[in-house]
Structure 1
């Protein structure tokens, strides 16, 4: 089998961009990075003028049909919400840094925004790192875990020991990912040890983040899982907050407004049912709830069949 190259990624994203632009998109923003061709997947945001527009086509929401380099559908966003999407989620345009979207210097604001976009990630990783996945999937998951750990250094006051440990994990992960792209062979012993190390650091990061969140939002509980879930309720508007600083209160209100607009857009367009991905950091239970897993199961079966049919008829 031919080795996957960066050129393959460029070609397939341009092919998808051409299709998306012909079907109502005004831009396709590639996210993340492609550090290890063959392992890295393609994340992208399709920017649209209006949420609801007819006849966008199957591939518009399901680029996995084009190539296995896509592992999920695109995120959808209108141009006016793109800045807030970068601010309140971990999605980043290719080549940009996270700090570019924290355009203020108030550390308390930075901490509440990072907590808002990391709390669901933390709960998710805390659960799924005990599950079985394919080698490629676990490598993608660990890369996302590393991003979360990196953002959480703000709760350790940028402690040099914490940063050194994160750097060590990053180096080990890069070695494993590189070996996987070269010959497809993964040292499962090293991978297992890295998963254990990530779990430990994730637990420590969760404790520090929960301590700050509890203090900032006046949640009177020391259990980090309770704090995280209560914070999600606050972000969703299901719980009230009392006696917090006006700056943090205002930021939470702005987050809620952004989330309401994204939820409304996805709901009006039916984008999730059609195959698009939803920003993970926002609760989508009002849109699909647990049915999203059923939709993903259908995609896992149907998309390879469509891809095969396209090859046969090409």
Structure 2
């Protein structure tokens, strides 16, 4: 059963089409991330789902009930949808417990629902505190607990981690996912952060120019993007021109098998996708067959891995990801580069 169904949603602001026929389905109990760059229409979509803006065309159904359509627009407060904004927007004069219980009737407050959701977000010991006594991450947890409390049909998360520092953001993402699953909630997360979408969501919908251009599991969107634009937007990508011939892609970085059914076997100009983790670097004397020579330009250390940027003889630059301790190549050193996995390719435009 789907908790949210959107069919051909249209919305324009003057001459700008913010939504240009968006269709999207969110199964009950799932977390779907709507991912896209600024201006792609994702925030407009969220506002139309919430009922804050009216659709120009199309339909939105929540729990199989139409809330927006050609002749219908259910008010926000009657949609049973909760919204968690970028910043918690807590009532400053109410305690944590009173903020969470604000939308509950007296029976629900007395029934222990406030304590239940505060425990889900790890704040059961903070029920008596005031918002100004909480950190930014704690305030967002309270906002999530307030959204969960009335058991809405759908929770909308509008880039709720964007104002937090990197370490706290990663921790809160994990805790939010755990809390949503524990409560059986259905949620839509709007974000421009690829890592956030891939690590949190059951499914990812990638938007561009007011349309959903691909939807699938995080693994499928990353490994088999719909086109070169999605490939470059979702994760780091090396996109090279090449030729597809007898199941192989020939590029300046070497030759590699093409993923099945990507392009025809006959010689075809293609655009080849190589992820940084698919490039293997070795010293030239240990180079396996099919390697090409390159010069190291720089190494960006990220703790858990290192991104090494190299330049080929023709000037092409490639980025290879290696684990810390592997391939410790200094800038200026000569290395051998090899593609070690099958690649994805599209017919060249």
Task: Give the number of the structure whose alpha-carbon radius of gyration is greater.
Answer: 2
Relative to its length, the structure with more strand (as a share) is 2
> Under TM normalisation by the shorter chain, which class is it?
under 0.3
Could you state the TM-score of these two structures normalised by the residue count of structure 2? 0.22
Relative to its length, the structure with more helix (as a share) is 1
* Larger RCO, structures 1/2 (Cα 8 Å, 6+ apart): 1
